[in-house]
Structure 1
Amino acid sequence: MITAFVDMVGLLMVIPLLPFFARDLGGGGLWVGVLVSAFSAAQLLSAPLWGRVSDRYGRRPALLVGLGAAAISYVVFAFAGSLWVLLVSRLVQGAGGGTVGVVQAYVADTTEPQDRARSLGWLSAATNVGVAIGPVMGSASLGFGRPAPGLMAAGLCAINMVFAWMFLTETHTGSARDGSGKKPARSRELVRNVLARPGEPAPRLIWIYAIGMGAFAGFSSILALFMAVRFGVTEKTIGYVFLWNGTISVIARALLLGRLVDRLGEARLARLGQMLLGAGLLLIPLTWRVAGGTEVDPPGGAWSIPLDVRWLVTGGALLLLAVSTWATRKVEMGDRVRLVGFLALLCAAAVMVVVWQHPAPLNAGLPDHFPLQYRFVVLALTITLVPLGTAFTFPCVTALLSRVIDARERGVTMGVQQSFGGAARVISPLWAGWAFDHLGTPYPFWTSAVLVLGTLFLTFGIDPASGREAPVTKSV
């Protein structure tokens, strides 16, 4: 966990600065998407290889080589003088980042099946402490010059390699064959199975993970640009936005995840996480309208809705959101009731999007400018839904996946999971950057929300598939 934490600190020292560095070098929103996607593309190609190497030669050597590649990439990032050199640094960093599946397999090797969701949650909490600290360190280090964030990240990677060499013990002693002489599945076979048989338990879980990860990648890649345009955030202050996200995620994973897994089960908690993530992505673009943004939209024309009507409809939609969320998370209710609640949630979210998409003039009853503190309070409350959603979804989905696959294939299967997540992370930032430039600031968030909420249907029946009985709540 310490290795994962330090690695994430280095990674997040540079990621929030990418949009601003790209802008300084002449790039726009699409270039930001390319830089973010380059990391994921390299990770996509390397993750199955890292999984196979770790299954055959051990987790420890794979982690050490990956950390070395990351250190080199940060040095290149520090002295990048053009967009193309910046792109090279991201590709090298992504190749080293393919070891995420190795880290997850390391944790799975050292825990019992019933404890994996909690252990993976602690792993996620450790990485999210890095997510919280890294951006602030990166923004603060800019005071020492532009190369400082990259050089500091490289130094952290070097320290991490020394720690891993000295203290990490090998947990996997298997080879390409087990005692029965049966070969574990190859990466290509598993990829074909995910594409050809999406209804089976493991492929369903991989699709849920990939779509959720892609949505989160699009959110992360465009958030800095959204904050700069709508709230005037700069490269010296963007770190605090990521600090908030990381703090919420750490609290959720360290204090809430284990208790909620015991009460709801992994599959139901994953569904709750998907709902929170989708709701956050739907509502974030609306915060600047409600709280008074920095830009003035054109008049609504024939679509303009009086402001008092908007607030009345929004209040009713929020009430429907609350009721439908309660219905979808009740353990004792059947899948049909939860499905109705989910559809009601979608309808409520759609109503709010429609009534606020075509704004009334700024002088239609709402003050022209709200205090800066109020705007950021509204934004913080809305953004909180995203880290809460990811904190519940990803550890539970990964734990469920580890329960439905053979232990000998755990490393390569989780590598394939990371590959599908990487494919989504390649496509999503590219779409987010293009949509931000050509369609408008809300659309990267809204398209991701639709996809995330759509995966709720894939989670039904996952508990029986994993061999775990759904928990039953006790009446008080």
Structure 2
Amino acid sequence: MAKKASLLIIFLTVFIDLVGFGIVLPMLPLYSKEFGASGMIAGGIVAAYSLMQFIFSPMWGRLSDRIGRRPVLLMSTAGACLSYVVFAYACLEQSVLLLLISRLTAGICGANLSVASAYIADISPPEDRSKRMGLIGMAFGFGFILGPVLGALSAGWFGVTGPGWVAAGICGFNLILAFFILGESRKPESDPAPPSPRLGQMMRILKRPQLGTLVCVFFLATFCFTCFESTFAVLFAGTHDDPGKFAFREPAISETSEGVNWSASSGAEVQEGDVLGRRKDESVVTAATTGRFVLNENEASINTTKTMAYWLMAFCGLIGAIVQGGCIGPLVKTLGEKKLIVFGLAMVGVSLAVLPFCSGQLGLWSIMLGLSLFAVSSSVYRAPTFGLISLNASSDEQGEVMGVTQSVGSLARIIGPLFALGLMDVWKELPYLICAVIAVIGSFVAASKIESPQAESGKAAEK
């Protein structure tokens, strides 16, 4: 019973951690740009989390070997809670520096995933470890679906600071839950947290023909996905000075706007009920909804496009969860891993080439169609890629190979935002078109270099 309770708390810890991440991440680059950051600086703010996690996560793992998993998980969760509080204040003050500090703090304290994996290893017999490790993947998927939904709701209810406060509240609840329920799992005989791969390990694995190709394909795919993730809100909603491809507006007030002396400045973020101005009879005029106030020749409206961007990210996450949860197994049996990787990357390229040319003139259906294609195709290649990487590694090097793969993925998540948001300052569509080419190149590499498990089995039999 105690182990089941601990597994539930670990699941909730990872799930809630990813919910908070999913609340903040979609709007982070857009807020950075709105607060005056250039594309490269906005990219640096987005990449700060992955960079700090890459550096500090192994240190937290080693610390958990010395002092136990529970205190490290508690410290990590408390740090995440603090980072979201700083994020909320950054949005309130419109401070680029505070945004950067919030993401650096979140990355430094971002030990939950690695230490949670060690915790599950501590309390699971060898035959149950793989199944129980799947809980982390499940929590990851659910967190990224629910995060944008809560982000959309909190932004609509509480305005620009809402996502930060809600994420902080969720992490605070997680901290209290873990403090009172989560026990210590670390025993003297427990396996240590896996060390971070060294450069020599990475080079040795990359030099192996099949493993090297698969890891490189994984890097390209992760790079393209990260570029999309860090630019979508900017492409879709844009800023006050540089509008995006779509604009959703609602009347600023429920009555006529004639004869109103507006006190709110155009471009200001307002919440429902905020005072926008006064009429000639001194009656107060308040906002009918939450969003960016827009005043054009005394015609007042509120731009709600950012909230719509949140809902579209949630739409992507839902489609991805459905594909990964119910379709991957039958597709692998029917087509095999190689064909899924090749097809998935090719369709990622097609969707990335289409997305930047969807616009309000074409209608919302165009972006939803493009996002559907992207969500399906990016979900189709992920599990088969990991599957083939695992199949090409012997049983005594699974941990090392997966560690190298995750490190390569972290590198893509560090470089991607800098690359994509920097290029957006040159031409908004450019990172999407370049990533489309990269994805198609990855598809060709996979088609020509990757061997299916059946082919490899045949070669082994001949030998």
> Equivalent residue of 1:236, what SS?
helix
**Residue in 2 that maps onto 1:254:** 325
Residue 398 of structure 1 and its aligned partner are, at CA, apart by 2.6
**Residue in 1 that maps onto 2:107:** 94
**Residue in 1 that maps onto 2:342:** 271
> Equivalent residue of 1:79, what SS?
helix
Query: Which whole-Å CA distance do the structure 2 matches of 1:19 and 1:141 have between them?
Result: 18
Matching of residue 398 in structure 1 with residue 386 in structure 2: yes
**Residue in 2 that maps onto 1:387:** 375
Q: Which of 391, 394, 416 is 2:404 aligned to?
A: 416
Query: Which whole-Å CA distance do the structure 1 matches of 2:113 and 2:77 have between them?
Result: 11
Matching of residue 149 in structure 1 with residue 149 in structure 2: no
> RMSD of aligned C-alpha atoms?
3.8
Q: Which of 143, 148, 153 is 1:140 aligned to?
A: 153
> Equivalent residue of 1:127, what SS?
helix
Query: Which whole-Å CA distance do the structure 2 matches of 1:245 and 1:220 have between them?
Result: 11
Matching of residue 68 in structure 1 with residue 51 in structure 2: no
**Residue in 2 that maps onto 1:235:** 306
**Aligned partners of 1:217 and 1:429 also within 8 Å:** yes
> Which amino acid is 2:330 matched to?
R
**Aligned partners of 2:20 and 2:167 also within 8 Å:** yes
> Which amino acid is 2:143 matched to?
G
> Which amino acid is 2:212 matched to?
P
Matching of residue 445 in structure 1 with residue 425 in structure 2: no
**Residue in 2 that maps onto 1:314:** none
Worse overlay, 279-288 or 165-174: 165-174
**Residue in 1 that maps onto 2:299:** none
**Residue in 1 that maps onto 2:198:** 187
Normalised by the size of structure 2, how large is the TM-score?
0.69
> Which amino acid is 1:453 matched to?
V
Please give the per-residue CA displacement for 1:98-134, whole angstroms capped at 9, x wherever unaligned: 5545556778996999996x98887545423322221
Please give the per-residue CA displacement for 1:209-264, whole angstroms capped at 9, x wherever unaligned: 22211111110111111112111263232211111111111111111122223333
> Equivalent residue of 2:306, what SS?
coil
Aligned residues with identical type, % of pairs: 30
In the superposition, relative to structure 1, how do residues 115 and 170 fare at CA in structure 2: closer, same or farther (>3 Å)?
closer
> Which amino acid is 2:17 matched to?
D
Query: Which whole-Å CA distance do the structure 2 matches of 1:203 and 1:10 have between them?
Result: 34
Query: Which whole-Å CA distance do the structure 2 matches of 1:108 and 1:400 have between them?
Result: 23
Runs (5+) with no aligned partner, structure 2: 1-10, 238-243, 249-304
Residue 170 of structure 1 and its aligned partner are, at CA, apart by 4.8
Please give the per-residue CA displacement for 1:318-362, whole angstroms capped at 9, x wherever unaligned: xxxxxxxxxxxxxxxxxxxxxxxxxxxxxxxxxxxxxxxxxxxxx
> Which amino acid is 2:382 matched to?
F
Query: Where does 1:197-236 land on structure 2 (aligned, <5 Å)?
Result: 197-228=206-237, 229-232=244-247, 234-236=305-307
Query: Which whole-Å CA distance do the structure 2 matches of 1:231 and 1:377 have between them?
Result: 12
> Equivalent residue of 2:307, what SS?
coil
Query: Where does 1:430-469 land on structure 2 (aligned, <5 Å)?
Result: 430-438=418-426, 440-456=427-443, 457-458=445-446, 460-464=449-453
> Equivalent residue of 1:230, what SS?
coil
In the superposition, relative to structure 1, how do residues 390 and 68 fare at CA in structure 2: closer, same or farther (>3 Å)?
farther
Query: Which whole-Å CA distance do the structure 1 matches of 2:344 and 2:120 have between them?
Result: 22
Query: Which whole-Å CA distance do the structure 1 matches of 2:29 and 2:184 have between them?
Result: 38
**Over alpha carbons, which structure has the higher Rg?**
2
Query: Which whole-Å CA distance do the structure 2 matches of 1:267 and 1:105 have between them?
Result: 31
**Residue in 2 that maps onto 1:304:** none
Worse overlay, 378-387 or 40-49: 40-49
Query: Which whole-Å CA distance do the structure 2 matches of 1:403 and 1:113 have between them?
Result: 18
Query: Which whole-Å CA distance do the structure 1 matches of 2:64 and 2:214 have between them?
Result: 22
Q: Which of 361, 376, 383 is 2:364 aligned to?
A: 376
Higher strand share: 2
**Residue in 2 that maps onto 1:285:** 356
Matching of residue 85 in structure 1 with residue 98 in structure 2: yes
Query: Which whole-Å CA distance do the structure 2 matches of 1:94 and 1:390 have between them?
Result: 25
Query: Which whole-Å CA distance do the structure 1 matches of 2:168 and 2:104 have between them?
Result: 15
- How many corresponding residue pairs? 378
Normalised by the size of structure 1, how large is the TM-score?
0.67
In the superposition, relative to structure 1, how do residues 57 and 411 fare at CA in structure 2: closer, same or farther (>3 Å)?
farther
Residue 84 of structure 1 and its aligned partner are, at CA, apart by 1.2
Query: Which whole-Å CA distance do the structure 1 matches of 2:413 and 2:71 have between them?
Result: 26
Query: Which whole-Å CA distance do the structure 1 matches of 2:455 and 2:114 have between them?
Result: 20
In the superposition, relative to structure 1, how do residues 160 and 271 fare at CA in structure 2: closer, same or farther (>3 Å)?
farther
Query: Which whole-Å CA distance do the structure 2 matches of 1:271 and 1:171 have between them?
Result: 42
Query: Which whole-Å CA distance do the structure 2 matches of 1:145 and 1:167 have between them?
Result: 34
